[in-house]
A = this chain, B = another copy of it.
């Protein structure tokens, strides 16, 4: 049973591709990183730059420039915190929220299509397993520690 690594190699590759494909909505193309940023801003409560950057394990300087891009695309806003002007609070614009749900819908479509190739029982098993795996990874000392 030591094709473990092979299984994961293929899985990561497929996910990478899935992520590349999934994120063009209408005329606008969204990169993988951008989709993750949008996803997290949508999810977290009034997050700051650093919070999102840390969650996604992106270098803050890189992140700063990516946010600038997303602001230019009018998907994200950045307002200085009232308590502490060093912080900026990130939020999605109306367009950004629309984009978030469009990506969500697109992703769900992909996933539903993929899951449609399995029977009910297999689907349940796979979902439960991914939960188990995520959990195990969150406990891991060697990787993935900062991520949600």
Beta-carbon contacts under 8 Å, A98-130 to B:
104, 107-111, 113-115, 117-118, 122, 125-130
The interface residues of chain B lying within 8 Å CB-to-CB of A15 are 8, 11-12, 15
Binds B, one of A60-68, A76-84, A85-93, A132-140: A132-140
Known interface pairs A115-B136, A129-B129; A143-B110 also in contact (CB < 8 Å): yes
Per DSSP, chain A at the interface is helix
The interface residues of chain B lying within 8 Å CB-to-CB of A34 are none
Check: A57 CB closer than 8 A to any chain B CB: yes
* Interchain CB contact under 8 A, B130 and A7: yes
The interface residues of chain B lying within 8 Å CB-to-CB of A18 are 12, 137, 143-144
- What are 18 A-B contacts defined by CB distance under 8 Å? A1-B127, A4-B108, A5-B107, A7-B127, A7-B130, A11-B130, A14-B147, A18-B137, A18-B144, A110-B140, A110-B143, A114-B142, A114-B143, A115-B136, A117-B135, A122-B129, A125-B125, A129-B130
